[in-house]
Structure 1
Amino acid sequence: MNISEAMKVLKTNGYKATGKRKDILVYFENADGYRTAKDLIQHLETVYEGISFDTVYRNLHLYNEVGILETTELNGEKHFRMNCTHRHHHHFICNTCGKTKEIEICPMDELKNNTLADYDIEDHKFEIYGLCPACKTA
């Protein structure tokens, strides 16, 4: 998802497209992988002095709720990234830097045909956690 698509999603859902909201989207569009609310706050404080945690968390929750951002949990903390809606895929996520790598195959195909053949699967999420090459050698 890009910024213009995300802004359309906001407007379609009845939300205003403010400068802060656009700046949050720019941050995630430029981020390489998942980022925390703390990362976002540190970035926004350079432009919006005294921005509150409440404002940031409220917008992150909104973006997740309307499908602009996707979330995962790393080291007990919620992390966010721009939603990848262009095709079905999964991620490898680095535990140290949060960088992601798309995984093109889906293990659900095998599971639906064998282990879970008699089950109605409504959704799924498959993530692999570890260290990316840069963090592995650091």
Structure 2
Amino acid sequence: MIWLMLATLVVVFVVGFRVLTSDSRRAIRRLSERLAITPEPVESMIDQMGKPAGNEFLRYLERPNEAHLQNAAQVLLIWQVFIVDGSEQNMRYWHRLMQKARLDAPITDAQLRLAQSFLRELEPDGWELSAFQTRYNALYMPEEGVHWLH
């Protein structure tokens, strides 16, 4: 009899947890599926943001329009390339992911401020972020020295 009550309690707990976290799981899945990645990088970033900023990011990501998805993807890109691994190889990898997902674009000043807001507990340096923005956006600039012959 006790095992039946314990089993019922576990089922209620699992179902309740799934119901309470369904919106955040759906938002994370939306971004990770669009980028064709596992949810772990998104979940890891949200965890590193801290509870208040992580919840703000989830609420932001839950918004249904494409602009919010684009901005959230740029925040993930900034976290992955600026915070986690700043190597040229990693930057190109994430740039290709963004291209395949049709979310690639130069990082705007507004997106940089948004990333600083969400990543505030990590205290990213504004000057270094600006230098990163310039370095990343250089991927979109035409190569210097290429001239068209007429």
Task: State TM-score, norm by structure 1.
Answer: 0.29
Bigger fraction of residues in helix:
2
Bigger fraction of residues in strand:
1
Q: Greater Rg, structure 1 or structure 2?
A: 2
